[in-house]
Amino acid sequence: MASTTDSSSILPAFRVVEQCRVSPCGDGPLAAGEELSLPLTFFDVPWLGRRPVELLFFYRWPGLTTPHFAASALPCLRRSLALALHRYYPLAGRLRPPRPAPSSDKFHICCADGDSVSLALAECIDGGRHFEQLAGDDARCVHAFRPLVPEIPMAVDDGGMLALTALQVTVFPGAGVCVGVSIHHAACDGSGFMSFVRTWASACGSGEEAAAVPPAGELPVIDRTLVSDPRELYTVFCGMKPMTSPGKVHTPTDHEPAFVRSTFLLRRAHVEELRRRASEQMPPPPPLLRYSTFVLTCAYVWVNLLKVRGEEQPPKPDEGVGNASYFDFVVDCRGRLSPPLPAAYFGNCLGLCFVDARRSDLLGKGGVGCAVEAIAESLARMGKDGQVLQGAEEWIPKLAVRQPGRVLSVAGSPSFRVYGVDFGWGRPAKVEVMGIERSGAVALVESREEDGGIEVGLALTAPEMSRFTSLFAAGLEDK
């Protein structure tokens, strides 16, 4: 369980030891001097204005030194990365905006022989002490994490194109190592992100070229023509602002050390207790509804965050805008389309799920049960057999009109199995989903301690985090 320890300690210092670029290797789809252009689909374009998908993987490695890592582990990381990029070659490409003519031209990912991605090796000064702090669960200053996150250059090159991927490995001498991965969201969603990372890690851990295949055994499917667009959603989405939730967004500065990140664990027993309480508070759910671990976790966090912020903004008794609360999240549409896309499709394939509820209901008796039912109902309405895209034209406009400060969203997913990423150094000691300090989202990954549990990551001000910690713990006590 997280606690709000002092987060104002001296921040770790870092230095870059080495920088290089890694190109895909092997016989790929591109011959020497050849170029390949992949058009973005309507699933991709809403994410053009979003921050990259950023994850940090922490691994304990007692006694590690930077020279030893650079001489032994880094060459293997490079070779395995080149093998993984052979399979996921769009990540080494560049994002090209539409050309002036013809007017029907689209955004493309342009891939050419000789493409490469940036890989940096960094070192943390006084690494042992800082590793245990950053890889922990207690409240930690958000500034401490940013040097670990590789930055994708935002400047365009001479052709007006943007890079899509950046990687960084940071050594904490005597303690461990952190692998940071940043990928432009327009290139792929979280499912594709994790498929690439698992392939890289598997190839590194085995040291064999044959291992540059996703551990699940399915090669990525990079055929964008599989995504049909009879309603011309690409044109609809391109004419709108990027998909950006108007939720509580906070960009920390050097003058705000009190803004902290914490991780909270819901054990399997906690989840079962929440399921029991929700079933008692609400009528039996219809057959299409399922009180899943995801639904129960989101409902519990939603209600507790409302309580934290509701102390200063009590809900109004009426049913107007002042009493509205929103929870939004994305769902994987691959299996929900008709016909479905392959599970290994590499790109974006996400639909938006909107949940509306009254704050007075969520903060009242049985509030968690109310939140559970609202989320489960909205998820069930996403449907299957091609119905998932009903009303898709309104996704972005609906986000734009929802009240700022009243939207909760989700980053990550327990289904990604992030704690299975092993580069040959063992399971991660901790995985952090970055960017939640900007978006105000809640980060969800599976528990590293037990099957059926879930880890919840939040970034709040120190006073908010202190209140949330107390509420989260109190709500799990036997009643």
Active site residues: 185, 422
Residue 334 DSSP one-character state: T
Phi/psi for 171 (5° steps) reads -90, 130
Backbone angle region of 361, left / alpha / beta, with phi > 0 → left and psi within -120 to 50 → alpha: alpha
Residue 220: cis peptide before it, omega within 30 degrees of 0: no
Report yes or no: 14 and 150 within 8 Å, Cβ to Cβ: no
d(CA 46, CA 233): 10
d(CA 422, CA 12): 26
Instruction: Retrieve residue 259's tokens.
Output: 């803004």
Cα dihedral 409→411→413→419 (10° resolution): -150
Report yes or no: 118 and 215 within 8 Å, Cβ to Cβ: no
Give the amino acid at 374: A
d(CA 286, CA 398): 27
Buried-state track 275-285, b at ≥16 Cβ within 10 A, e below 16: bebbeeebeeb
Residue 345 DSSP one-character state: B
Phi/psi for 367 (5° steps) reads -65, -40
Which residues have a Cβ under 8 Å from the Cβ of 177 and sit 6 or more positions away?
A: 58, 59, 61, 64, 69, 73, 169, 170, 171, 425
Cα dihedral 278→280→286→289 (10° resolution): 20
Cα dihedral 373→375→376→380 (10° resolution): 130
d(CA 204, CA 198): 10
Report yes or no: 379 and 294 within 8 Å, Cβ to Cβ: no
d(CA 232, CA 376): 30
Report yes or no: 106 and 98 within 8 Å, Cβ to Cβ: yes
Residue 177: other Cβ atoms inside 10 A: 24
From first CA to last CA, the distance across the chain in angstroms is 19
